[in-house]
């Protein structure tokens, strides 16, 4: 069964457009190929909590350490843990790939 990536779960697409910015930007999770396949995701799509400047929301956006608390309480993070079970890759292992 194909797993959802963060941009699919949030139904945002890989790009985020903001009214206070000109143009759109591609979410870093969608571009981060060093973690492709982690937790059965495409690029960083199932490891977004470990990737700097992800675009889920302004609240969760930022450097890894500053957004981690928000990410760990995210429904998508919980879903990935449940779906991957014992194969869920811990944050430390993800960070070692980055």
The string of pLDDT tens digits covering residues 67-88 is 888 888 999 999 999 999 999 9
pLDDT of residue 15: 54
> Does residue 1 lie in a domain region?
no
Give dist(CA 41, CA 35) in Å, integer.
Answer: 8
SS3 at position 50: helix
Between 94 and 54, residue with greater pLDDT = 94
54 touches 60 (CB < 8 A): yes
In a domain, 82, yes or no: yes
Owning domain of residue 75: 6-97
In a domain, 76, yes or no: yes
Dist. CA 74–CA 97, nearest whole Å = 22
Domains contained in the chain, number:
1
Q: What radius of gyration, in Å, describes the C-alpha atoms of the chain?
A: 13
Q: What is the mean pLDDT of residues 13-31?
A: 63
Residue 37 within any structural domain of the chain: yes
């Amino acid at each position: 069964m194909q797993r959802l990536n963060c941009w699919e779960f949030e139904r945002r697409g890989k790009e985020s457009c903001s009214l206070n910015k000109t143009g759109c930007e591609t979410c870093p999770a969608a571009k981060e190929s060093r973690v492709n396949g982690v937790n059965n995701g495409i690029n960083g799509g199932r490891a977004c909590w470990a990737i700097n400047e992800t675009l889920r929301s302004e609240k969760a956006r930022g450097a890894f350490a500053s957004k981690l608390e928000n990410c760990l309480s995210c429904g998508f993070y919980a879903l990935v843990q449940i779906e991957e079970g014992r194969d869920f890759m811990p944050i430390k292992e993800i960070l070692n790939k980055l």
